[in-house]
Chain A
Amino acid sequence: ELKVEQNPLFLSMQEGKNYTIYCNYSTTSDRLYWYRQDPGKSLESLFVLLSNGAVKQEGRLMASLDTKARLSTLHITAAVHDLSATYFCAVDTMNRDDKIIFGKGTRLHILP
């Protein structure tokens, strides 16, 4: 059974700093998603990583995927308060039905 682990689960950081959220998963997959969720809101798709070595950037966020290490990272550059949210990584099981398994989420709190 695929397991997805994120760390840290909670991160409080100052504006302007850089940080990385890690997502490890337990079985082979080459499709990984990052989502943002604001309190009480839906899942906002940030990145879809579809192959080993994939790197995508949007504004201050950059995501990468290493399928050999079964690791994805979400890097935050020069954080701003608006990036405060919970970030989930999710991994496709690559089975016939391709259900997604989510990590527990990283609650990011950026202090002004």
Chain B
Amino acid sequence: EPEVTQTPSHQVTQMGQEVILRCVPISNHLYFYWYRQILGQKVEFLVSFYNNEISEKSEIFDDQFSVERPDGSNFTLKIRSTKLEDSAMYFCASRKGGHQPQHFGDGTRLSIL
């Protein structure tokens, strides 16, 4: 069965550095999402993306965050100047469309030092 794949599985970065988290959604899916889970807390919506633009973003998704679909297969989340509080597990998800269920990747654990 097709899967959403995320890389890297674990990223360790110094505070203030930029990070790019990568996701390869399922190939015929049209809607893409990023979610975040701080350790011990619930999973929170960050942003949804459709037709090469952001369709909705949460309050968490401020100016330091950006998303891109650079080449028709990858879907990336960039955090420009990381803060300690950005340490979390980041999940990518994709959906085919037409109210089909979302499929989640295994996540990237981001640790900011």
* Min C-beta distance of A94 to chain B, whole Å: 7
Chain A residue at minimal CB-CB distance from B9: A42
Question: In whole angstroms, how far apart are the Cα atoms of A48 and B104 in the complex?
Answer: 13
Determine the main DSSP class of B at the interface with A: strand
- Say whether A103 contacts B101, CB under 8 Å: no
Instruction: Name B60-76 residues within 8 Å CB distance of A.
Output: none
- Say whether A105 contacts B42, CB under 8 Å: yes
Task: State whether A100 and B50 are in contact (beta carbons under 8 Å apart), knowing that A43-B91, A43-B107 are contacts in the complex.
Answer: no
Number of interface residues of B (CB under 8 A): 24
A37-54, CB under 8 A of B: which get 1 and which 0?
000101101001010000
Q: Residues of B contacting A100 with CB < 8 Å?
A: 33, 35, 45, 93, 102
Q: Residues of A contacting B89 with CB < 8 Å?
A: 42
Determine the main DSSP class of A at the interface with B: loop
Question: In whole angstroms, how far apart are the Cα atoms of A101 and B101 in the complex?
Answer: 13
Q: Residues of B contacting A40 with CB < 8 Å?
A: 109
Q: Is B52 an interface residue (CB 8 A)?
A: no
Task: State whether A42 and B101 are in contact (beta carbons under 8 Å apart), knowing that A96-B55, A97-B55, A99-B45 are contacts in the complex.
Answer: no
Question: In whole angstroms, how far apart are the Cα atoms of A33 and B107 in the complex?
Answer: 18
Chain A contact residues, CB within 8 Å of chain B: 31, 33, 40, 42-43, 45, 48, 50, 88, 90, 92, 94-105
